[in-house]
Amino acid sequence: MCFILHLTTFYACNHSVVNRRQKLDCNATNCVFSQRHRPEEHACQITCAQSLQDEQSFTTSIVTYPCDACTYASHCTQK
């Protein structure tokens, strides 16, 4: 089954920020979201997966500075 992959950056403030979402195609013929979902007439509701799998998160990078929200928040309190 296809699912949505969240590519996240993990910041020093312990926040994960999603910077990209991409759909991963399972290429199955029995999945309505697949590019290879069978084009011919079939009992789709019965034979095919009708929903995406739960979203998955994947940390693509870990950085040593805080996220934008935390950076700006601390700037505000320092004033």
CB of 31 to Zn ion, least distance (A): 3
Residue 34: closest CA among 24, 43, 21, 42: 24
Least Å distance, CB 74 to Zn ion, is 10
Best CA proximity match to 7, nearest among 34, 25, 16, 45? 16
Binding-site ranges for Zn ion (CB under 5 A): 1-2, 13, 15, 26, 31, 33-34, 44, 48, 67, 70
In the complex with Zn ion, the residue whose CB is nearer, 7 or 16, is 16
| Cβ nearer to Zn ion, comparing 8 with 67 | 67
